[in-house]
Structure 1
């Protein structure tokens, strides 16, 4: 069990809560089972309208190191930033309330972080489907990504992206607070999948990172998740706009770290890959007028040029070129 060596807690767990009554009891059970005395829990209530806060208050008695911050609904990024601004721990974590994590997860990551003076300590997890619709499987296949010694962040990012199985997420990691503070990292307000630019830049900036392939975290794929709800044309348009913003952010990150990115071709590959995902979104739209409007926006914002510039391989350019002729018939 971790004991308190100084006034600052060893770990700050920053938790965004929005209408999570279905998930909060299992989530707090996971937190309590971490058995870390030197841990503060910062709950940011992002304008919940269900019974989430009653459940939080019930757990507050069992977890006295918890503080609760109330704000109007502004999304997970702003909620995380709110919690980050008041966190006092030496290390930070950002779990999602609809997932579960194993006893010992944070102690293992903190032990790694302290022993290796890490900026980021990271582990593996499992995909778990609601009602066991599919068998559980590791997030990072162990034949693709094995446990590492301490590595420079860009070396780990290259290894992770080159596996083609890397998932950009914050919740498998703990971060050294001084490192996050020194670089002024924040989550992008109002952006879905903000973990993509966050993880990319954090790892490019990090000097010491270590990964263990031990699986401590269960990522639940369920019908209530925003990421897995059925799409219509309007939600597809919103998704395309979020990813266009992500591509612009990734390009800006690449330009901020040119010396590091030149050794990581996959930093360009991920822009082209996510760009192909946007084009696939267009393919799934049914209303021709809406499809034409978002495709014109895609070209006017320079996203096509950005994707083409970052598609370095002949295969990627061939895949994009085939789609260009389908898209250009929507242009004036």
Structure 2
């Protein structure tokens, strides 16, 4: 059985890299693909390139529309998809020729709802050299499967990036039956990942490097700090509410601590880059105050005492962090010296 995979590719002003991206999808060893390319109001030559590729391969469907943003494009792709399985590829990235073949095998072998792979950041367009490196990781790949609880826990460790991003995965279509990306939001993957995990029973992961994430200096993640990034706080607040509603008490302490510290990080970022935004700063302090009041009883004593300093005054908290860093550096040097005596 060769189920149809719908691959959704959002495009916006990507003339410099979309050919590489499209070719990497067309060259998949697994060929039963429906490739949905949505040109989201590009102002360069991307529309013409998309149409040229559609003429080359009947598996490609191209949609041209006015610019509405990444979240809406992904939702449109989901609404259009006719495949039993769903994949996403960002238009400035590329994938290994065997990515979907390997992910489908692991999905079936492990009776999983999602199969995901390792990713690597690339800085040039020479994909062939990356493929050679990936081939070694495929030969020696380690397969891990985890249930819902462990998947949630991976949002708080080194697997966070691979877990959160949408494009290194193969999903069963039903995962998105009640899940859509929030329109007009950045960090849209942070908004939906906990709902996606909530809709799954089992996820399988291979550490084989099959997805090549291109370092694009013009991408949102490399932009100078702006107020749109505050959406991340809303995404974490939504995650807190989900864990509270589902009574995931083993996760609620972690996500609450992360949420409150994220507010602090953005408070200082706004104060540094937009010091005149007094209303935004006030709103952030109010959100922190409300969050701390509502969830202080589930925090451990160490985190609670630290967070109270910000509640007392942000400048006090800032001085505390600076002193702690200096002490950590000092005692770290002493430990290094002490260790050297025993070598």
- Paired with 2:221 and 2:187, the residues of 1 have a C-alpha distance of 9
Give the corresponding residue for 1:321.
Answer: 308
| Corresponding residue for residue 305 of structure 1 | 290
TM-superposed deviation, 1:130: 6.0
1:271 aligns with 2:259: yes
Please show how residues 69-218 of structure 1 align to structure 2 within 5 Å. Answer: 69-129=63-123, 147-158=142-153, 160-167=154-161, 168-181=164-177, 184-218=178-212
Query: Which residue, 6, 15, 19 being the options, matches 1:12?
Result: 6
8 A contact 1:15–1:41 mirrored in 2: yes
Q: Which runs of 5+ in 1 are unaligned?
A: none
What is the CA–CA distance in structure 1 between the aligned matches of 2:199 and 2:245, rounded to whole Å? 10
Structure 2 CA distance for aligned equivalents of residues 32 and 131 of structure 1: 17
So what's the TM-score if we normalise by structure 1? 0.81
| Count of aligned residue pairs for this structure pair | 300
Paired residues of 2:8 and 2:37 also in contact (CA < 8 A)? yes
Q: Distance in 1 between matches of 2:307 and 2:220?
A: 28
Query: Relative to 1, partners in 2 of residues 1:95 and 1:51: Cα closer, same or farther, differing over 3 Å?
Result: same
Q: CA deviation at 1:186?
A: 0.3
User: Helix, strand or coil for the counterpart of 2:146?
Assistant: coil
Over aligned residues, Cα RMSD in angstroms? 2.8
Q: What displacement does 1:46 show?
A: 1.2
Q: TM-score, normalised by structure 2?
A: 0.78
Give distance in 1, aligned partners of 2:289 and 2:222.
26
Q: 1:29: how far off? A: 1.5
What is the distance in 2 between the residues matched to 1:131 and 1:230?
Answer: 24
Structure having the higher Rg:
2
Structure with bigger helix share is: 2
The alpha carbon displacement at 1:296 in A equals 1.1
Show structure 2 runs of 5+ residues with no match. Answer: 317-343
* Correspondence 1:251 to 2:236: no
Q: Is 267-276 or 29-38 further displaced after alignment?
A: 267-276
CA shift for structure 1 position 316: 3.5
